[in-house]
Amino acid sequence: MLTYEGYHASVVYREDDGLLFGTVLDLRDTVIFEAECAREVEAAFQGAVDDYLAFCKARGREPDRPYSGRFNLRLKPTLHRAAHLAAAEAEDSMNGFIIQAVQNELERRGITPE
């Protein structure tokens, strides 16, 4: 995964044209880039982010920023109830309980948040 100015991108190889195709994640807007070889991918990604930020500035529009730290979560009612009871038993809020669950899962997978 590529990172630049707080934005992230994924890159895939397209067999049909032999190009590396990237997508900037974390945005409602679609920002893509291409590169012919691995050496060019990072520069193409950075250029795409820079172009996106310049585009927003030229239009007086605030660019999407990656993740606010808030998200809506939909659970089955039985899972919601069980999580609420577990949080209450631990004398924690639902927010604290979910944060801990996410941290535990990331740690289990060996993922360290930036």
Q: 50: which residues sit within 8 A by CB, 6+ positions away? A: none
One-letter amino acid of 105 = E
**How far apart (Å, rounded) are the C-alpha atoms in residues 96 and 102?**
10
Helices (H) and strands (E) in the chain, counts: 3, 4
**How far apart (Å, rounded) are the C-alpha atoms in residues 21 and 33?**
6
- The pLDDT score that the predictor gives to residue 71 is 81
- The pLDDT score that the predictor gives to residue 6 is 87
- The pLDDT score that the predictor gives to residue 91 is 92
**29-70 pLDDT, tens digit each:** 899 999 999 999 999 999 999 999 999 999 999 998 876 677
Q: What does the domain layout of the chain look like in residue ranges?
A: 2-58, 77-108
- The pLDDT score that the predictor gives to residue 51 is 97
- The pLDDT score that the predictor gives to residue 28 is 85
**How far apart (Å, rounded) are the C-alpha atoms in residues 38 and 41?**
5
- The pLDDT score that the predictor gives to residue 113 is 81
**How far apart (Å, rounded) are the C-alpha atoms in residues 38 and 36?**
7
DSSP label at residue 15: T
- Maximum distance among all Cα pairs of the chain, rounded to whole angstroms: 56
- pLDDT level of residue 114 (50, 70, 90 thresholds): low
